[in-house]
A and B are shown apart, each in its own frame.
Chain A
Amino acid sequence: MLNLARFHGGLHLPNNKELSNQAPLRQASIPKKLVYPLMQRQGVTVDPKIQVGERVLRGQVIAYSDHPLATPVHAASSGVIEAIEERLIPHPSGMADLCIVIATDGLDESLVTQGVADFRSQDPASIRTAIKNAGIVGLGGAAFPTSIKLNPGPQRKLDTLLLNGAECEPYITCDDCLMQNQPESVLVGAQILLHSLHIERCIVAIEDHMKRAYARLTQVVAALNDPRIIVVQVPAIYPTGGEKQLIKVVTGKETPSGGIPADIGVLCVNVGTASAVYDAVCNGKPLTERVITVTGRGVKEPQNRYVRIGTPISELIEQCGGYTEHVERLIMGGPMMGFALPDDEIAVVKATNCILAGTAADINTGKQAMPCIRCGDCAKACPVDLLPQQLYWHSRAGNLDKCKEFSLFDCIECGCCEVVCPSHIPLVQYYRSAKSKVIAKAKEAEKAAVAKRRHDMHLERKAKEQAEKAERARLKKEALAKVKQANAEKEGVTQ
C-alpha cells in the first residue's frame, strides 16, 4: 500500500454524484448536426481540410494544422459539410468563432481503420504518432495534446504514470462511470502508456467513494496480472483531482511552481484519456466520442452517456428528458471550475466532461458582497497555501507587483476561497482580472522593448548609411582630385 500525503486546505463539498451515477451508461444517439470549433485551446486554430458540400465519414479528419499544439479534428458521424461559419463556442467569455457544421445522414458510416494486434511490438514514437493522429487530448478538462505529454524531453526522467480518476468536482461522474463500465480499456490504455514511456510504475487514483469502480479496477488488474499497476483510493477532498494536488497526495512530491509534473518524474493523465489511447492504438479509432455526465436538478433524467464530440447540448439535454422548469444556469464542467454557457446550441468539445443544468437550489445566483472581515477562512481553504485575502487587497488596489509577490500565478482558480468567504466576495474574479492585467502589462512591455529595439536599429542603420555615404563622398572626392591632378599633369606635359 502507498502512504498517502495530503495537501493544505481543500474542501469537503456536497458532491451530488448520486444524481447521475445511478443510471446505466448509455450511447447517445446521432445528433442532427455536429459542430466543431476551429479554435482549439489557447488560441491554437486548425484549418478546415474539407469543403462545404463534401460528404465525410466517421473518423475522417476534417480540420488540422501544423501548429505543434494542434490535434486533428475527426468527424464523429457520416454526413455532409453544411457550413463553415461563426457560431458560439464553449468559452468562458461566450465568444463566437468559426465552426465546421456537419449535417449528419444517420448512416454513421465509418472509415475502415485497424489497430495494432500487439502494442508491445510498437516503438514509442509510432505509438505517439498514433495517439496524435487519433486527435487525443487530455479528457480531464484541460485538453492538452496527449502525444506531447508523452515526450517530455531527454532532460526529464519519468518514473511514475499516474492515472487521474479522482474526479473531485461535485456532480461529475463520467470517469467513475467509465471505470465501472470499461475498466479493461482504461487499464490496457495504461499498459500502452507504460510501454511507450519505458517505465514500470502506474498508480490509478480514484476517490474513496467510488466503491464499484474500485472493485472493478482491482479485479481487472488482477486478471491482467500486471504488478506494475496499483489502484489507490484517495480521500474525497476538493480539489484532489487537480493534477498537482493529486500528485502530492499519491507521491508526496510537489510539482515546482511554474514547472510540470514531468519535472518530478510523474506523468499524469486522466483515466478517460487512457481509455482513448487504448481505442486509438488497439482499435485504430480516433477520438470522436467520450463519456459526458449530464446532470443537475435542472435536467429530468441525469445520467452518463457516450456522446459524439460536436453534439449540440440542446440535443443532449433532450435525450436526457429535457429541462425541468426550475433550470437556472447551464454549466460546462463542474460547479467549482466550469463555465456558464449563454446558449444550449453550443456543442460539446473533447474537454467537455459534464453538462450541469443547475437550479437556484444548486447554484449561487449572486449574493451581495460584503467587506472582507479578514477571517482567513480563504487561506485555510487554499490548496496552494496562498493568502487569498492579501491577493484580494492587492489586486483590488491594482498593485500588480504585490500580487506577483504573493504568488498570484500559483492560484489554480479552484474557487475554494470564494466558497468559504463569509463576505461573498467574488475572489476568483479579482485574481483572473489581476492575472490578465499582469499578462497585458508584460505584453505591452515586450512591445515597447521591441519598438525600442527597432528604433535603436533604425538609428544604427541610419548612422551606418550616413557613414557609408560620407565614405563614398570622400572616395569620390579623392578620385576626382586624382583625376584633376592627372589632368593637370597631362596638361603640363603637353604644354
Chain B
Amino acid sequence: MKFSTALSPHVQPVNSVTRVMFEVIVALVPGVIALVWFFGLGVLINVVLAVITALMAESLVLLVRGRPVWVSLKDLSAVVTAVLLAISLPAIAPWWVTVTGILFAIVIAKHLYGGLGYNPFNPAMVGYVFLLVSFPLPMTSWPAVAGLGTMTLNFQDIAQLIFFERIPENADYDALTMATPLDALKTQLSLQKTVLEAQSGAVFGYLAGKGWEWVSLAYLLGGLWLMVRKIINWHIPVGLILGISVISGICYLIDAQLYAPPVFHLFAGATMLGAFFIATDPVTAATTVKGRLIYGMMIGVLVYIIRVWGGYPDAVAFSVLLANLAAPALDYFTKPRVFGHRA
C-alpha cells in the first residue's frame, strides 16, 4: 500500500493565530462592559464602526497586495486592532476620528510594513497617536462618567453626537465632557495644589478615578484570564506594573504632596489596558524572557515619566511605541544560554 508522506512532527498543532486573537477579544469583554456602564453606549458604536472599517480596509489592502483575503481576515488580527483602538477613544468621538484612526492603523502602520507579523509598531497605538497629535480636541473630550455629568444622554443623543456632531438641545460640550482623573490631577498640580487636595475632586474614586478604576479592574480581570489561558506570559504585564510601581513609589516617598501614590497610577488611565492588552502584542514586543521583563519595565517607567513630566496626561501609547523601537535590541542582548553551552 502507498502512503503520502510529510515531514515530522506529525502531531496536530495545539494553537492557532485565530484562537489567540479570539481569546484576546473575549478577554476585552469585561472592560468593554465597564466602559459602556460608565461612559455610555458610544463605546459600542465606536467598536462596531472600528471593526467594520478595519475589516474593509484589511480586505482592500490585501486585494491590492495580491494576498489571499479570507485567510488573513480569519486570523482576527484586524479585529483586535480595531477593538483596542476603539476602546481607547473617547466614547463620543466623531465617526471620522474612529475611521481615520483605523485606516491609519491598518493601512499605514500594519500593511505598509508588510502586514501581520512584520509591523514594528503596535498598529492600534500608531493609530491612537496619529489621532492624538492630529485632532487633540475630539481625542481629549471624554464624556462625563455616569452620575457625574449634568445630563444623561440616551442612545439617540450619542448617535447624533458621533455621526453628526450634533449636541442635544440645551447642552454644550462642556456639559457633556469632563476631564479625566489624570488630566484633572495634572491641572490641579499646575495650580500649585497638593495631590491630596486635587484628589478630593469629584472625578476621583477609591483607587484612581470614578468609573476609570472599575474599567481598569475589568481589564485586569481580562488580563489575568489571558494569563490563565496562556495567551500572554506574565513577564510584560508584571514588568510594566513593577516599573510604574517602583518609580511612582519612589517619587511618592520623596514627596507625597507632589506625586500621586502608585495605586493611582496603576488604576488611572490606560495602565491596565496597556499592561495586559497593548504591551503584550507579541508582534511588536520583545520575545525573550528577560527582554520581555525589561520591555515591560521600560514601558512602565516611560508611562510615569511622560505622565508626570511630559506633555500628555496619559502616556501608554507613546511609551509602547518607544519600547517597540527598543524591542529588537532587547532581544539581541537577552539571548538565553543555549543548553550545553557555558554561561
Contacts and interface: CB of A to CB of B under 8 A. Distances in A.
Given A7-B339, A374-B283, A376-B233, A337 B9 contact: yes
B19 A257 contact: no
A335 interface: yes
B308 to A, nearest CB: 31
Q: How big is the A interface, by class?
A: 35 or more
Interface stretch (B114-122, B201-209, B241-249, B266-274): B114-122
Given A363-B12, A374-B287, A419-B14, A342 B339 contact: no
A170 B338 contact: no
Contacts of A333: 8
A257 B11 contact: no
Interface in A252-274: 254-259
Contact of B8 (A338, A341, A384, A406): A338
A368 interface: yes
Report which residue of B11, B19, B285 has the largest number of chain A beta carbons within 10 angstroms of its beta carbon: B11
Main secondary structure of the interface of B (DSSP, over half): loop
A370 B17 contact: yes
B326 to A, nearest CB: 15
A290 interface: no
Interface string A365-388: 111101111111101100111110
A373 B17 contact: yes
Contact of B288 (A7, A370, A379): A379
A420 B9 contact: no
B11 A13 contact: yes
B120 to A, nearest CB: 11
Interface residues of B, number: 43
Nearest to B332: A390
Given A336-B9, A358-B10, A376-B282, A385 B3 contact: no
A418 interface: yes
Given A338-B10, A363-B10, A428-B8, A407 B341 contact: yes
B340 interface: yes
B115 A367 contact: no
B340 A244 contact: yes
Interface stretch (A132-140, A323-331, A444-452, A457-465): A323-331
B338 A386 contact: yes
A489 interface: no
Nearest to A415: B9
B117 A374 contact: yes
Contact of A373 (B1, B12, B282): B282
A291 to B, nearest CB: 22
Contacts of A94: 5
A36 B6 CA distance: 24
5 contacts: A170-B11, A256-B340, A340-B4, A342-B5, A422-B13
Interface of A: 7-8, 13, 92, 94, 170, 244, 248, 254-259, 314, 323, 328-331, 333, 335-344, 356, 358, 362-368, 370-377, 379-380, 383-387, 389-390, 406-407, 410, 413-415, 418-424, 426, 428-429, 432
Given A335-B9, A364-B13, 5 more contacts: A373-B116, A374-B282, A374-B287, A376-B288, A410-B339
